Chains A and B, each alone.
Chain A
Amino acid sequence: MRFLLLFSRQGKLRLQKWFVPTSEREKKKVIRDMIMLVLPRQPRTCNFLQWKDLKIVYKRYASLYFCAGLEEHDNELLALEVLHRYVELLDKYFGNVCELDIIFNFEKAYFILDEFLMGGEVLETSKFAVNVSMEQADTLQESFKVSYH
């Protein structure tokens, strides 16, 4: 996976994760292109698109579009499952997640993503393990000081 974007129906970016080094200009261009490609799509059409040399997989959940850019050898159907799993993780963490949760707690959304994916690959395949890690990390954050060994 090259990148993962979340944007709203009005084209506002809510989360961006880049798995390969990309310049700022390039990032802005990709975001613009993705928004232009995905937003006009009709409801029951195919979730896959071809864009330059990448396969684009997108899925709409309520008011948010989840959009991933895949490389040639990645499995598109599995990517749909990856997006779905991420939504499930967010849902479990926030409890009935909605777009506002992701807006106001964007750093938490990133932390959850970092527990689930790394370097564009799936890091943890278990549903529960990710949430357990998040809870523990949050507890650690509350505690006052962490000392060096």
Chain B
Amino acid sequence: MSPSVPLQEMIRAIRSARTQCEERGVIQRECAAIRAQFRQTDNGGRSHNLAKLLYVHMLGYPAHFGQMECVRMIASPRYSEKRVGYLGAMMLLDEKQDASLLITNSIKNDLSHSNQYVQSLALCTLACMGSAEMCRDLAPEIDRLLRSSNSYIKKKAALCAVHIVRKVHELGELFVPSARSLLSEKNHGVLHGAVVLITELCERSPETLERFRKVSVPDLVQIMKGLVISGYSPDHDVAGVSDPFLQVRILRLLRILGRNNEAASDAMNDLLAQVATNTDSTKTVGNAVLYETVLSVLDIKSESGLRVLAVNILGRFLLNNDRNIRYIAMTSLQKIVSTDHNAVQRHRGTIVDCLKDQDASVKRRALELSLALVSASNIRSMMKELLIFLSSCPPELRAHAASGIFNAAERYAPSKRWHIDTILHVLTTAGGDVRDETVPNLIQLITNTSELHCYTVHKLYRALLTDISQQPLVQVACWCIGEYGDLLLKGECQETEAVQVTEDDVLDALEIVLQSHMSTPTTRGFALTATMKLSTRITDNVDRIRSIVSIYGSCIDVELQQRAVEYNALFKKYDHMRAAVLERMPVIQKNSLGQTNGELSEEPIKESQPGKVKQEEMALPQQPAGQNVYLTFHKLVCSTYLNQFKVFFMLLLASAPTVTVYEKNGVTLTLICERQSESGLTVTLTASNSTDSDISSFTLQAAVPKSVQLQMRAPSRDSLPAHGGAKLTQLVVLNNPNKVGLQNANRTVPTSLTSIKMS
């Protein structure tokens, strides 16, 4: 085994490797050498070996075999080995490893070591990776060290105590007395540690908070004053600010102590005002202190003058050239926009300007804040800015911006037309990023704005002609053209310039959508339905529509094919119903959604899916399942339009109490339905035979969906004599307790109900 090279040579060798493969080779060799060295007894180069392993670990290679070596090194009497051993422990061991328990004893011993640097190694490691058990074990030791006379140890013990409190909350009680006494220290390091410890204790326990509030506020104010007013101290000065780290921590502690407490807030009022006015804000460090001050002022019960001062500081930050400062300002303003809304509104102009900043972080903050600042009075101007932003905003912000704009438009729209225009604008610019419920929401809005139907359909038609790539827009456009195509063809409109189109033009537009490769299946479904609806609204080109529909009867997409076949059937067998089925949708009542399928009623009203004709469950809570037999066209009529549905239904019932469902080879089968109860239905099946020969062993079988209960009573006879001599009747009782709709099953019910066995 070749002797392993010293650390720096190894690093050089790894760095000079030209390929990943070469590097791996070097590292494998070195690791093997290191492993061999670990197995040997003590030699001088142990710390070097471990250091090499740590380097390899940092490059991302596995190094778990070094864990035991760390444990051994920590127990070594040599400081150099201890140092690297503890470093290894912090890098390789965490509280989940079993080996970490093994070092508890070493740490305990080292905490009482005579040399402060050994002690500090132990403290540092405990604060880095100490598990809950280790913390519980060693907490009294730490508390003892907090009272030692050595500042170096005290400051480390203080932060170690912070870690212990974070890990095991109950131990906080133990440190309260020592923490209090530490506040009177002069050493900044110790003071800083004490403030952090007290902050941690107060955040965890309200009683401790109370205690510190009573006694410590004057002390803290005193210390702060000393820092702010004192002269230059070379040790702690950073660009003219004396110990900004300590200042910021004290301000944060004051914030926690003054929150929701009048007395404490009063005590710190003057100080905060002083810090806010005296701190130099030309450099980042001064701004850091000012930032913390502003956060504190806004969070405690400060007097109004001070609050105004704080918001003004934020306003100044907004105008700062430094992007970081502007970012910070917007973050802070976001926190107070709900409470101090008017104060923030004053800076709206600057915030809106930040929307145009190059930096993506600043843009994001500006967007959030702008959306929060939209109100009824500024909606028009704000929306203009937001729409400009939307057209040039980075892709990751588009979805958020679009939904924010929709919410704002919904709450503050000054007029319906403005609302519709805004939504259309968003769909044209960022159509790909809007959420799914935008389409039904928009359709609902359009339906309910009956005075603007003409305007809307004209606008959408024009949009469709320009661009068919934005799916949500195309879907809405198709739906509108289908619904209001007659208004489009009339050629006159009050609100906007009318287009002069012929029926062929409109059908051309829809056909382009149908055939385009950019259209998703959903969009094509919309287009096909729209084409079908136009068959009742136009006069000349019904044949063209018929041919389009029949072409799609053999489409590969199953959904489209099903629709086309159904529409075909509507043309052929049920032509008399076509007008009724395809008439204008009624205005959607918001509460009608609650009556749809049981599941849907939980959703908020907004989540209506009026346009989504394809996936709706058939919602007929009042209509028992059996009667759905008639309704192979359930999908045509959107289920949420209950009114229309009921009308259609009544029509059917009124016109056909007896329905012939099977008529073939001389055998006729009819159904009569009678509703018995909320969920029950009886169906009387009557069969008759008009052939020349008798039919014997005639049985009827029925199939229903799982949730519907079926009971077949005994038939009156089991043979059908020739020439309609006698009829066979059989009663079938159906119970639909869940009032579920029948979907595809529906289409097969007629055939399954009439499967006839004939001998």
Contact = CB atoms under 8 A, between A and B. Distances in A.
Given A121-B196, A122-B245, A126-B235, 20 more contacts: A16-B58, A21-B94, A45-B359, A45-B361, A47-B324, A48-B324, A77-B287, A78-B288, A80-B288, A81-B284, A106-B58, A118-B156, A123-B193, A125-B245, A125-B246, A128-B235, A137-B83, A140-B115, A145-B77, A146-B79
Interface of B: 8, 11, 15, 51, 54-55, 58-60, 77-80, 82-84, 87, 94-96, 109, 112-115, 117-118, 123-124, 127-129, 152, 155-156, 159-160, 162-163, 166, 188-189, 192-193, 196, 235-236, 238, 243-246, 248, 252, 284-285, 287-288, 291-292, 323-328, 358-362, 364
A133 B79 contact: no
Identify which of A19, A76, A124, A128 gathers the most chain B CB atoms within 10 Å of its CB. Answer: A124
Interface string A105-149: 011001100100011011111111100010011001101011111
Contact of B159 (A47, A123, A128): A123
A136 B120 CA distance: 13
A44 B324 CA distance: 10
Contacts of B109: 148
Contacts of B96: 21, 23
Contact of A81 (B79, B87, B245): B245
Contact of A118 (B160, B238, B323): B160
A77 B328 contact: yes
Interface in A5-40: 13-16, 19, 21-23, 28
Majority secondary structure, B binding face: helix
A121 to B, nearest CB: 5
A76 B115 contact: no
Given A73-B252, A118-B124, A141 B83 contact: yes
Contact of A75 (B118, B166, B248, B362): B248
A136 B113 CA distance: 16
A125 B189 contact: yes
Contacts of A141: 79-80, 83
In the A-B complex, the 8 residue pairs with the smallest Cβ-Cβ separation, listed nearest first, are A77-B288, A149-B114, A46-B361, A118-B159, A46-B323, A78-B288, A45-B359, A146-B79
Majority secondary structure, A binding face: mixed
B300 to A, nearest CB: 15
Interface of A: 13-16, 19, 21-23, 28, 42, 44-50, 73, 75-78, 80-82, 85, 103-104, 106-107, 110-111, 114, 118-119, 121-129, 133, 136-137, 140-141, 143, 145-149
Contacts, number: 158
A146 B118 contact: yes
Nearest to B82: A146
Contacts of B188: 125-126
A136 B117 contact: yes
B113 A148 contact: yes
Contacts of B155: 123-124
B158 to A, nearest CB: 9
Contact of B60 (A13, A50, A81): A13
Contacts of B323: 44-46
A122 B51 contact: no
